[in-house]
Structure 1
Amino acid sequence: MTPRTAEAARVEEANQAFYDAVERSDLDALEELVLTGPLAETVSVVHPGWPVLRGRREVMRSYALIMANTEYIQFFLTDVEVAVDGDTALVTCTENILTGGPAEEEGEMGSLVGGLVVATNVFRRTSEGWRLWVHHGSPVMADGVDEDAAEDVDNGGEGSA
């Protein structure tokens, strides 16, 4: 395994640890993964449908609110791509999310809802390992690429109108 490939694997492990912490509602584990130090105030997150939140304190507060108000969440990551350049790494992926509401009757699971979010996660290498610097999630609103729109792009914007 080349050093670059090894670093990409470490970044992918940090990325998975981030999602695992959110799934478990483990705020302490998430605290360990989010960047601290001189760049702490540049940490940011965009949750789907939310405005940008800046600063480690606001970001952690948002995750605490999400964890407190989410009965069940599970992420199945697909299309994971990792790029490493020096002390910065970029991960793009699709979050296939399964969430559930409160149980309707004791002992029964509440209703489950699925959704797709495309995410960009930026990590920074520190002496403690790779730490999450930026998370941006955007809901997928379309089923696929509009072939006419793709043709317009391919033709420099001069499609068949």
Structure 2
Amino acid sequence: MSRTKPQLHAATLGGTPDDVEAAFYEGLRSGDLDKLMACWADEDDIACIHPGGTRLLGMAAIRAAFEAMFANGGAVPVTAEHIRRVDSMASAVHHVLERVDVLTSEGAVQAYVLATNVYHKTAQGWRLVVHHASPGTQGAATEMPHTPKVLH
């Protein structure tokens, strides 16, 4: 049995939203399309939006996009940081700062992406139903204070 089976098993059986999220990012880092896709709900309305990209709907479109991503460069060296969670009995929303290590002609640099991952508890367990990522900046890790200064 390979080492990836327990993580894939956790995503397949649902575990917790955190388990599914960990398997999703491990699938990205390892370039493992099957592990990554095991995290998604098998529903027509699931959605994925990559930074600067269009909205992809459904398992086939999402799989094709990740397959093309892996074919063009293999694994994605991404780390999920500064995760904020809003969890309930049947859904969870995670706001994530993704740090991506990029090799440029000047050397290694870090790029940042702001992502929102939405999970639903399905009959198969917890599954990802939306991954929406937008370009971020190095300052993206800086968060606004919890109390707004201006009320509207």
- TM-score, normalised to structure 2, is 0.75
Instruction: Pick from 60, 68, 73 the counterpart of residue 70 of structure 1.
Output: 73
Is 1:54 matched with 2:57?
yes
Any unmatched runs of 5+ in structure 2?
1-14
Is 1:31 matched with 2:37?
yes
The equivalent residue for 1:134 is 130
Cα distance 1:94–1:126, how it changes in 2: closer, same or farther (>3 A)? same
The equivalent residue for 1:3 is none
Is 1:93 matched with 2:99?
no
Is 1:114 matched with 2:110?
yes
Deviation at 1:156, TM superposition (A): 5.7
**Superposed structure 1 runs of 4+ greater than 4 Å apart:** none
Any unmatched runs of 5+ in structure 1?
1-8, 105-110
Cα deviation code 1:89-146 (max 9, x no counterpart): 1111100111347xx9xxxxxx54420001100011123321110000011147369x
Is 1:83 matched with 2:86?
yes
Cα deviation code 1:22-55 (max 9, x no counterpart): 111111112211111xxx1101011001011111
Contact 1:72–1:100 (CA under 8 A) maintained in structure 2: no
Larger-gyration structure (1/2): 1
Q: Percent identity?
A: 24
Contact 1:95–1:116 (CA under 8 A) maintained in structure 2: yes
Contact 2:28–2:75 (CA under 8 A) maintained in structure 1: no
Instruction: Pick from 15, 18, 24 the counterpart of residue 12 of structure 1.
Output: 18
- TM-score, normalised to structure 1, is 0.71
Deviation at 1:72, TM superposition (A): 4.5
